[in-house]
Amino acid sequence: MESVVEEEEEVRRIVTDEEKLEAKNFNVFDLPDVPKGLPPHLELQRTRVVCEVGAPLHATGTIYSGAYISSGVDNSVNLENFSENFKVDVISLTKTDMVFDMIGIPPGIANAFRRILLAELPSMAIEKVFVVNNTSIIQDEVLAHRLGLIPLVADPRLFEYLSENDQPNERNTIVFKLHVKCPKGDPRRKVLSSELKWLPNGSELLKESAGGSTTNPKTHTSFSRSQDSFPEFADNPIMPSFEDILIAKLGPGQEIELEAHAVKGIGKIHAKWSPVATAWYRMFPEVILLKEFEGKHAEELVKVCPKKVFDIEEMGQGRKRATVARPRDCSLCRECLREGDGAIEGEAKSKGKAEAKGKREWVDQVALRRVKNHFIFTIESTGSQPPDVLFTEAVKILEDKCESVISELS
Binding site for other proteins (CB under 8 A): 63-66, 76-79, 82-83, 86-90, 93, 100, 102, 105-106, 108-109, 111-112, 115-116, 119-120, 388, 391-392, 395-396, 398-399, 401-403, 405-406, 408-410
CB closer to other proteins, 165 vs 410: 410
At 121, the amino acid letter reads L
Nearest distance in Å: CB 86, other proteins:
6
**99: three-class secondary structure by DSSP:** strand
Helix axes 107-119, 387-409, angle to 10 degrees: 110
Nearest distance in Å: CB 208, other proteins:
38
CB closer to other proteins, 109 vs 245: 109
Gap between the Cα atoms of 367 and 385, Å rounded: 41
- What is the helix, strand, coil percentage profile of the chain, to 5? 30, 25, 45
Closest CA to 365 of 311, 285, 288: 288
CB closer to other proteins, 143 vs 379: 379
CB closer to other proteins, 324 vs 397: 397
Nearest distance in Å: CB 72, other proteins:
15
CB closer to other proteins, 111 vs 278: 111
Nearest distance in Å: CB 105, other proteins:
7
Burial class (CB in 10 A: 0-12, 13-18, 19+), 4: exposed
CB closer to other proteins, 102 vs 289: 102
Closest CA to 279 of 96, 34, 128, 51: 96
**257: three-class secondary structure by DSSP:** strand
Nearest distance in Å: CB 65, other proteins:
5
Do 323 and 347 touch, CB atoms closer than 8 A?
Answer: no
CB closer to other proteins, 190 vs 268: 268
Gap between the Cα atoms of 206 and 146, Å rounded: 24
C-beta neighbour count of 332 within 10 angstroms: 17
Gap between the Cα atoms of 194 and 378, Å rounded: 29
Do 221 and 128 touch, CB atoms closer than 8 A?
Answer: no
Gap between the Cα atoms of 200 and 328, Å rounded: 48
Burial class (CB in 10 A: 0-12, 13-18, 19+), 97: middle
**392: three-class secondary structure by DSSP:** helix
Nearest distance in Å: CB 81, other proteins:
10
Nearest distance in Å: CB 272, other proteins:
20
Nearest distance in Å: CB 147, other proteins:
29
Pairing of strands 255-266, 310-314: unpaired
Do 218 and 194 touch, CB atoms closer than 8 A?
Answer: no
How many Å from the N-terminal Cα to the C-terminal Cα in the chain? Answer: 72
- DSSP assignment, residue 208? P
Nearest distance in Å: CB 111, other proteins:
7
CB closer to other proteins, 348 vs 395: 395
Nearest distance in Å: CB 93, other proteins:
6
Do 249 and 191 touch, CB atoms closer than 8 A?
Answer: yes
CB closer to other proteins, 130 vs 280: 280
CB closer to other proteins, 288 vs 405: 405
